[in-house]
Structure 1
Amino acid sequence: MIRLVTRHIVSETGERLKLLVDGPSGVPLFYPNLYNTSQIRGASKSVATIQSYITSMKVLYSWAAEYSVDIEKRWKRGEWLKTWEVDSLRDYCSLPLRSPSELQEKVVNIRQGRPVISASVNSPTKYVRMTFIADYLRWFADMLTKTSSKNLKIEIEAMYKSIKSHRPKMKGRSVISREDKGLDSDLLQEVMKVLKLGHDNNPYQGYSLQVRNAAIIALLHYLGIRRGELLNLRIDDINFVTNEVRIVRRADSSKDHRVYQPLVKTEERILPISSRLAEILSEYVIRYRSAFPFARKHPYLFVTHKKGPYQGDPLSNSGFGKVMYSRQIFTYSRARL
């Protein structure tokens, strides 16, 4: 079975590159990477868009290997996808890119406490996959044929439209307010109470970790900033005189060596913080962050506390996920529902 992997590269200038390679050999796939470089990166698309494209290519070439479809040879002969192949590709785009063992992992709904096992991706994901695949296959056909034949161009366009017509119907954006989707205010206040420094039920072990995580959750809660904006914060973004936080865009920063660089997607802005939150941030920087030697080599505010080779590194996306997912908080929240 074909095994494609994403190779992540961070250049000396801080630019992030993503390549689709053959897992066993490590050889990059020529045409998918050429399309990525010329059509997606060349159009200044975001890192998230590039990752969505690469995932779509993994789906396409896994499907092609499973159904013995040699796309390059077929395209050179002017043989396009048949109707049943488009149907098969549509169904394949519904499958998650995970092994059967990974499909047994259970995701628990915090409101209802019920385990849910997803056997297929959601409609927006399937829509994006098929859109990328249709665009790529049309480009690939034009690249290989290099013909001015009107009939061939019509056939290629017909295949392109056929694939896109098989995408799921997308409904408009939800009219439900965000407030209706979150935790109710009483439960949120209970959780915030538990996370106070020194609280008996605080799930984070160690006072320094409690200080860091209290600051993280307070910034998210009171400022409404995104994860990428939080992890992108530097010490010099905090004005401890005026009690303000700057949200700054820093795509492809040479000072950020994280492979998955947290990004600011919204406009740059300055946000006020309370004097108490400013005190917590100041305490964290002066007393705890400074205790990690490697933390002194970069400007990012929140760092990894866990002992090991990454201690003092800027907090990563996965590290942030571990902060937000605490079994103790989850158990406490369920008990209060």
Structure 2
Amino acid sequence: MQNLAPTDFQLSVAPMMDWTDRHCRYFHRLLSPHARLYTEMVTSAALVRGKQLRLLEHSQQEHPVALQLGGSDPQELAIAARFGAEAGYDEINLNVGCPSDRVQSGKFGACLMREPALVGDCVKAMRDAVDVPVTVKCRIGVDDQDEYADLQHFTETMLAAGVEILVVHARKAWLQGLSPKENREIPPLDYERVYRLKREFPQLVVVINGGITTAEAVQAHLGQVDGVMLGRAAYHDPYVLAKVEAALYGEPMPERADVLRRMQPYVEAELARGTALKHITRHVLGLFQGEPGARGFRRILSEGAHLPGAGWSLIEQAMGPRLAAA
């Protein structure tokens, strides 16, 4: 493996469109020193043809951080991967799991599970272009791929292409008839299929994703696979990351308010460069989930962060005396 051990993948936060931007990742890093963080999916076309290299912006505090790419053209993906590696990303991940119509029309995402040979060509081209690890995030199948044999064949093709780390969302994707949101909730979870994959391909680092919400569940999955990727739970209730850190690594759980205060230099630096407060605070709304006063915290930030001149004082106001001690 390219300078990595399986333990490097014990905990990660999933790439989530419109959510895991650089502000979100900075916040998550404060809660979880060990987690691998993933960008939102960036299309290879945006980087190569659109020259939108600003999409690669990230801070040094985010590491280890992976760039997730979407695409299906091996040469274009190789160039995009090189851009990502040159920008300093620790890993390049290929999206073979997103089921949205827009992604399908571009012939990438989950529909590529029907074309494992093409995915293998993409991976090989990317591996030849960069020295950092190239990984794949996929589903357990799409549409009528109901048999384990389909996932088995896909995995064999990935191994032949040089993939050493496979992140598997333990749900099938329906490419027609379900929205992306429904594809995250309706197809049943099949963790056992992912466990079986690890048993039959012990040389592969297997990371499981889908429906995992607690530190206890993370620990249970780690008895079967190498790593666990948290998705929506880490966004809506981000303090779960601190709980997992404590369970896996013995990290002391920080006070929620202290985590937020550690954001102050970052927030003020971003405001100084013209970033609107709302682009940062939308990611912290769930920090006090379950705590008395959490609703008022969310309301004050949601109503005030978009106003002209909104700054750090609004966050202090939102915490108030009750949450300031939480």
TM-score for the superposition, normalised by structure 1: 0.23
Larger Rg: 1
TM-score normalised per structure 2: 0.24
